[in-house]
Structure 1
Amino acid sequence: MFFGAGNLIFPVHLGQLAGVHWFSAALGFLFSGILLPLGALLALAITRAEGIFDLARPLGKGLALTFLILVHATLGPFFATPRTATVPFSMFASHFAPSMQGLALLIYSGIFFGIVYFMSLKEGKITERIGKLLNPIFLILLFVIFLFAFIKPMGSADTTKASEAYLTASFTNGFLEGYNTMDALAALAFGITVVTAIKSWGIKSAKETSISMAKAGVVGMAGIAIIYLISIFLGATSLHHFALSENGGTAFAQIANFYMGPIGEALLATLSTITCMSTAMGLVIAFAQDFHKRFPQISYKIFLTVNCGISFVFANLGLNQIIAWSTPVLMFLYPIAIALIFLGITSPLFQNDATTYRLTVFFAFIPAIFDMLNASPAVISQTTLAKTLTAFAGQYFPFFNLGFGWFTFGICGYFLGLVAHFIKAKTGNQNFEMEE
C-alpha cells in the first residue's frame, strides 16, 4: 500500500534534478521517504494507537479530529488519491493528441476509480487482494525494468549536471522531495488498516499487534528503500539521453522506451496502473474506516463512495496542477506529523504528557504556516502579504530558506514540554510527600 503514485515518479525526477549529487539527495529522500514512515509505524506501535486520531489525542479531541480530517483530505479526495490515477495516465498520455488528452483522462480515471471502488467494498479482503495478487505482479514488472537498466546502463551518474538548487543543498532538497510521497502521512492513516489486517490473522493482544506492526514496517520499508536508490540512480543516468522532465512520469516512460521500445512503455503503464491501484485501495479504505469510526452514523460504503467520486473529479485537473497545489499543503502538514511521530516514539520518556505534545506541536505549527505560504503557487506566494511574511521568516527563522524553519522551533517546544513535565512530576511528588 505504501508504494504508489508518487513513489514511482518522484525518485526518478529527484535523480534528474540532483544529477552528480544523486547520492546525497537520495540520503535526504530516504530520511523523509523511509525513516519517517517507519517512525510513524513505530510511534503507533509504541503508543498502541490505531491511527492518526489516537496518536494526536493528547492534543485534545478537537485538534486531533482536525488533524485527522486534514491528513485524510490530503491523502484522500484532494491530492494523493487523484494522483494515483493521473500518474499512470501521464506515462502514456503522449500517445494521445493534445486535444484528446482531456477525454482520455476522463475515461481512464472513470474506469480506474470504478475498479478501486468495487474492490474496496469488502474491507476485510484488503490483505488478500493487495498482498497476494497486486504486489507480486508489481514487483516482477519493476524488476524487469531494473534488470535492463543494470545490463545496459544509460551512462555514468557522476558525469551528469545537477540543477541549481541541488548544487549546494542536495540533502535538504532531497528530504523535502520525500514529502511528495506522502508516506509519513499515509503511515499514520494506514495504521487502522494494518491493525485490522494483523488482527484478522488471529493476533489479539495489543503487545503482539504492536510488535507485528513494527516488524512489518522494518521489512517493508527496507525493500522500498532499495527501489528508491535504484530509481534515483536511474533518473540521474537518464540525463545522458533525455532532458529534465516536468514531473517524473514522462522520464519513467522515456526510460522504459529506451530499453524496451513500445513494449517497455506498455509494461510501464501496466506496472504503474497496478501499483497505483493498490495504493488507491489502501487510501480509500483507510479514509472510509477512519471516518466511519469517528462518525458511525454514516456507513463505510457512503464514505467510500464520496471519496472515490471526488477523487475522480480532482484527477481530471491533471497531474501538474495536483502537484502544484499539494506542495504547500505538505509543507504545512509534515512538520506537525514529524512532531507527532517523534513525540509518539519518545512518549515513554514523559508518560504521554499532553503538555509536552501541545508545546512541541504548537512551536512546529508556527513556521509551518510560513513554509506553506512560501511553497504556494505564484497566485498566493507573490501577493504583497505573502512576500512580506516570508521575507520576515527568511530573516528571523533559522533554516527557513532551506525549508526547515520548523526544526529549531519544534526542538525548543519539545524541550520546554519536557521541562514542564518534569517540573509537574516533581511538584506532584513533593505535594504527595507533604500530605503524607
Structure 2
Amino acid sequence: MRFTKETFVTAFALFSLFFGAGNLILPPQLGFLSGPDWWLVALGFALSAVCIPVLGILAHARIQGGLFEFASKVSPLFSLVYCILIYAISVALPSPRTAAVTHEMAIEPLFNSPPLLTSLVYFSLVFIFVINRSKLLDLIGKWLTPAILVILVMVIGISLYDFPFHFGGNGFQSPFSHGVLEGYQTFDAIGAVVVGGVIIVSINLQKKERTYELKKQLIGSSGFLAGLALLSIYTGLILSGALLHESFPADISRTELLTGISRLTLGKTANVFLSLLVSLACFTTAVGIVTGASDFVRSRFPGHPRSYLYTAIAGSLLGIIVGQLNVGIIIDLALPALMFIYPVTIVLILLNVAPERYSSTLVFRTVIITTILFSIPDFINSLGISEISERSASWIPLSDYSLGWVIPALVVFMGTNMIYSRKGRNQSGG
C-alpha cells in the first residue's frame, strides 16, 4: 500500500465527503447515553459507519465505475431503480439535513437569522462547488478537510485531557446493536456508493495517465486512510460524550450536546470554532451528494450536455426547501427509507468486494432478493406499525434488533454458492 501526496489529498477529500451532519452530532450522544458501555456502542457504530463504507470504497476501486455498475450484476433494471432511489433519498434527506444542522448549530446562535436564508445561501454555495467539479478533490482535500480535522482533534483532545474517566449509567438494552443502527443515520454506506463514484469521476477528470491498477491502488489506499481517520474521530467523540455525562441534563438534544461539549472544551471561542466546524463538515457532504446525483443523470443522458447542470440546480433547490426543517424532523423522516435501502446497500457492498468465484450473478440476485424480503418487517416497524415486527421477531433471528435480514442473507449466500460450485464441478466432471 503506497502513500503519496495524491493519496493523502484523495483521502482528505473522502473523509470530508463522508463527514457531515450525522457524523458530527450522533457520536457524542451515543457516548453520553451509553456510560461504561461506550466501547460496545463504538464498536457497533464503527461497523456500520466505518467498516462498511470503507469496503464500499474498496468495491469502487475494484469496479472503477459509477453507482449503476455497482448494482448491475443483479440486473440493469434493478440497478436503475436502485440508483434512482439512492440519489432521490440522498438529495431529499441527508443533503438538506446538512443545511439544517448548519443553521441550528452554526448560524442561528450567532446571527439569529431565519432558516430560509441559511439554506438559500448554503445551497447557492453548494451549487457553485458542484459546477466546478473538476477542481473538487483539490478544493476539499487540500483546504477544507485539514480545517475540520484540526478543530475536531482540539475538541476531543481537551475532553480526554481535562475530564476524569468516570461514566454514568447505560441507557441502552443492547449497546452494540444500537450503535450499528445509529450508524445507519450517518448515511455513510450510502455515502460510500455515492461519493466513491464521485471520486472515480474526479480522478478521471484530472486527465493523468493511470492504469487500472494505479487507480485501484490510489482509491484503496485513500479509502483505508479515510476510514482510519473516521474511526479515530468517532471513537473520540463517543468517549468525550461518555466522560461529560455529569455536565448536561439527561434529555439534552444531539445538537445541544455537541454545542455544550464545544463550550466546555474550547471556552469563549467555542461558538466561532463550532460554527466553522459544522459549516465545513456539512458543506462538503452536501457537495458530494449533489455532485454524485448530477454525475449519474449525465451518465444516463450522454446526449444532453446540460443534464449535469439541470440536476445540480434541482438538487440545490430541493436542498433549500427541505433544509428549512428542524434536524430532528429530518432524522425521523429518514428512518423508514434507511431501514429499507440500507440493508440492500450493505449487501451490495459486501458482494462487490467478495472474490469473483463467490459473487456470481446468481448469488447477487438471490441474496439481494432475500435481503429485500427480510427487510420489510423492519421497514414496516419504522413506520410505527409494530404488529408485523412483533410476529416476525418470534421466527426471524436478530429481528428484535432490527437486523432480521442478516442471517437469511448469509444463509442464502452460502447455500447458493454451495449449489453453484457443485453444479460447476458436475459440469466439469461430465
What is the TM-score with the length of structure 1 in the denominator?
Answer: 0.89
User: Match for residue 279 of structure 2?
Assistant: 273
Question: Aligned to 1:69, which of 84, 94, 111?
Answer: 84
User: Match for residue 387 of structure 1?
Assistant: 386
User: Match for residue 418 of structure 1?
Assistant: 417
Confirm whether residue 112 of structure 1 aligns to residue 122 of structure 2. yes
User: Match for residue 60 of structure 1?
Assistant: 75
Confirm whether residue 173 of structure 1 aligns to residue 178 of structure 2. yes
Question: Aligned to 1:189, which of 183, 188, 194?
Answer: 194
Question: How far is the alpha carbon of 1:233 from its aligned partner?
Answer: 0.5
For residues 295-334 of structure 1, the aligned pairs below 5 Å read 295-296=301-302, 297=304, 299-334=307-342
Question: Aligned to 1:284, which of 283, 286, 290?
Answer: 290
* Letter matched to residue 97 of structure 2: R
User: Match for residue 366 of structure 1?
Assistant: 373
Structure-2 separation of matches of 1:295 and 1:390 = 41
Confirm whether residue 83 of structure 1 aligns to residue 83 of structure 2. no
Structure-2 separation of matches of 1:37 and 1:358 = 22
Once the two structures are superposed, residues 220-263 of structure 1 have per-residue CA deviations (whole angstroms, 9 ceiling, x without a partner) of 11011111111001111221110235542211101112233442
Where 1:118 maps in the other structure, the secondary structure is: helix
- The range that moved more, 287-296 or 421-430, is 421-430
Do the aligned residues in 2 keep the contact of 1:357 with 1:417 (CA within 8 Å)?
Answer: no
Confirm whether residue 337 of structure 1 aligns to residue 345 of structure 2. yes
Once the two structures are superposed, residues 92-141 of structure 1 have per-residue CA deviations (whole angstroms, 9 ceiling, x without a partner) of 57748xxx97x621111111111111122121010111011111122222
Give the alignment's Cα RMSD to 1 decimal. Answer: 2.0
* Letter matched to residue 240 of structure 1: E
Where 2:405 maps in the other structure, the secondary structure is: helix
- Alpha-carbon spacing, 1:246–1:396, altered in 2? closer, same or farther (3 Å): farther
Do the aligned residues in 1 keep the contact of 2:42 with 2:238 (CA within 8 Å)?
Answer: yes
Question: Aligned to 2:56, which of 11, 19, 40?
Answer: 40
Do the aligned residues in 2 keep the contact of 1:10 with 1:247 (CA within 8 Å)?
Answer: no
Structure-1 separation of matches of 2:106 and 2:138 = 29
Do the aligned residues in 2 keep the contact of 1:44 with 1:191 (CA within 8 Å)?
Answer: yes
Aligned residues: 411
Do the aligned residues in 2 keep the contact of 1:90 with 1:250 (CA within 8 Å)?
Answer: no
Do the aligned residues in 1 keep the contact of 2:33 with 2:242 (CA within 8 Å)?
Answer: yes
- Alpha-carbon spacing, 1:397–1:12, altered in 2? closer, same or farther (3 Å): same
Do the aligned residues in 2 keep the contact of 1:6 with 1:180 (CA within 8 Å)?
Answer: yes
Do the aligned residues in 2 keep the contact of 1:363 with 1:412 (CA within 8 Å)?
Answer: no
Once the two structures are superposed, residues 364-420 of structure 1 have per-residue CA deviations (whole angstroms, 9 ceiling, x without a partner) of 1112111112123xxxx1xxxx33322221222111011110111111221232134
Do the aligned residues in 1 keep the contact of 2:74 with 2:365 (CA within 8 Å)?
Answer: yes
Question: How far is the alpha carbon of 1:274 from its aligned partner?
Answer: 1.2
* Letter matched to residue 330 of structure 2: I
Do the aligned residues in 2 keep the contact of 1:39 with 1:345 (CA within 8 Å)?
Answer: yes
User: Match for residue 51 of structure 1?
Assistant: 66
Structure-2 separation of matches of 1:247 and 1:356 = 43
Do the aligned residues in 1 keep the contact of 2:263 with 2:270 (CA within 8 Å)?
Answer: yes
Where 2:131 maps in the other structure, the secondary structure is: coil
Q: Which runs of 5+ in 2 are unaligned?
A: 1-16
Once the two structures are superposed, residues 121-165 of structure 1 have per-residue CA deviations (whole angstroms, 9 ceiling, x without a partner) of 121010111011111122222222233323322x43x431221xx
Question: How far is the alpha carbon of 1:57 from its aligned partner?
Answer: 0.5
Structure-1 separation of matches of 2:297 and 2:28 = 34
Structure-1 separation of matches of 2:423 and 2:301 = 36
Question: How far is the alpha carbon of 1:427 from its aligned partner?
Answer: 4.7
Structure-2 separation of matches of 1:405 and 1:124 = 42
Once the two structures are superposed, residues 80-101 of structure 1 have per-residue CA deviations (whole angstroms, 9 ceiling, x without a partner) of 10111111222257748xxx97
- The range that moved more, 386-395 or 221-230, is 386-395
Confirm whether residue 121 of structure 1 aligns to residue 126 of structure 2. no
Structure-2 separation of matches of 1:401 and 1:247 = 26
Do the aligned residues in 1 keep the contact of 2:127 with 2:312 (CA within 8 Å)?
Answer: yes
User: Match for residue 9 of structure 2?
Assistant: none
| 4+ residue segments displaced more than 4 Å | none
Where 1:59 maps in the other structure, the secondary structure is: coil
Structure-2 separation of matches of 1:49 and 1:412 = 29
Do the aligned residues in 2 keep the contact of 1:50 with 1:195 (CA within 8 Å)?
Answer: yes
Where 1:264 maps in the other structure, the secondary structure is: helix
* Letter matched to residue 91 of structure 1: M
- Alpha-carbon spacing, 1:395–1:375, altered in 2? closer, same or farther (3 Å): same
Where 1:231 maps in the other structure, the secondary structure is: helix
Once the two structures are superposed, residues 301-329 of structure 1 have per-residue CA deviations (whole angstroms, 9 ceiling, x without a partner) of 10000001001111112211100011121
Structure-2 separation of matches of 1:209 and 1:427 = 38
Once the two structures are superposed, residues 317-375 of structure 1 have per-residue CA deviations (whole angstroms, 9 ceiling, x without a partner) of 2211100011121111111111111111114223x421110111111111211111212
Question: How far is the alpha carbon of 1:428 from its aligned partner?
Answer: 4.0
Where 1:160 maps in the other structure, the secondary structure is: coil
User: Match for residue 38 of structure 2?
Assistant: 22
Once the two structures are superposed, residues 32-53 of structure 1 have per-residue CA deviations (whole angstroms, 9 ceiling, x without a partner) of 111000111122223x242321
User: Match for residue 138 of structure 1?
Assistant: 148
Do the aligned residues in 2 keep the contact of 1:364 with 1:413 (CA within 8 Å)?
Answer: no
Structure-2 separation of matches of 1:414 and 1:315 = 40
* Letter matched to residue 141 of structure 1: I
- Alpha-carbon spacing, 1:89–1:45, altered in 2? closer, same or farther (3 Å): same
Where 2:354 maps in the other structure, the secondary structure is: helix
User: Match for residue 22 of structure 2?
Assistant: 6
Among the aligned pairs, what percent are the same residue? 25
User: Match for residue 250 of structure 1?
Assistant: 256
